[in-house]
Amino acid sequence: MPKLDLSSIPLKTGSSYPAPYDAEMAGRSSQRLAQAGGLTQFGANLVTLEPGGKSSMRHWHVLEDELVMISQGELTLVTDDGETTMRPGDCATFPAGEANGHHLVNKSDARGKFLVIGTDMAGETAYYSDIDMMVSEADGVTRFTQRDGTLLKELK
């Protein structure tokens, strides 16, 4: 049966970001739904943000589209255009190549959850709006670098 049992999908905590940015992801956890269901063409994650948590550093993708839908709580979407309060059922989209850095932050005193769906493109690059960092993926290797190419962290 294709129905996923959420209780059997591992909860991923922490961050693959290099220090000191990894510490800013405290209060964030996720379950990789698409991966658990054997899907390979796009990612779908259920992300939980505890009070004070943030989804990521503000970023934008060169090749990948993203869609988020709030499922629990009240979260704040932060983009280059400012802040927007998001509640259950609210959605936001981020087209590939649109240089509008975004992330979600939990400014409330209750847990929030959202579903994020995005394409999974080989050779993807993403840029971080507020810090000198970018991430690229090629041949199964993820590289976090400064914009000038200085390596910060590599994951195989």
Residue listed under structure tokens 């000191």: 20
Does residue 46 belong to any structural domain of this protein? yes
CA 51 vs CA 17, 25, 73, 82, 103: distances in Å: 21, 12, 10, 20, 15
| Six token digits for residue 146 | 């400064």
Does residue 68 belong to any structural domain of this protein? yes
Does residue 97 belong to any structural domain of this protein? yes
Does residue 100 belong to any structural domain of this protein? yes
Does residue 140 belong to any structural domain of this protein? no
**How many folded domains does the chain comprise?**
1
| Six token digits for residue 36 | 């658990």
Does residue 127 belong to any structural domain of this protein? no
SS (H, E, C) the chain: CCCCCHHHCCCEECCCCCCCHHHHHCCEEEEEHHHHCCCCCEEEEEEEECCCCECCCCEEECCCCEEEEEEECCEEEEECCEEEEECCCCEEEECCCCCCCEEEECCCCCCEEEEEEEECCCCCEEEECCCCCEEEEECCEEEEECCCCCEEEEEC
Q: Which domain holds residue 101?
A: 10-122
pLDDT of residue 2: 86
Contact 15, 73 (CB under 8 A): no
Does residue 138 belong to any structural domain of this protein? no
pLDDT of residue 67: 98
CATH code of the domain in which 91 resides:
2.60.120.10
Does residue 152 belong to any structural domain of this protein? no
Contact 55, 66 (CB under 8 A): no
Q: What is the pLDDT along the chain (156 residues), one digit of tens a residue?
A: 589 999 999 999 989 999 999 999 999 999 999 999 999 999 999 999 999 999 999 999 999 999 999 999 999 999 999 999 999 999 999 999 999 999 999 999 999 999 999 999 889 999 999 999 999 999 889 999 999 999 999 999
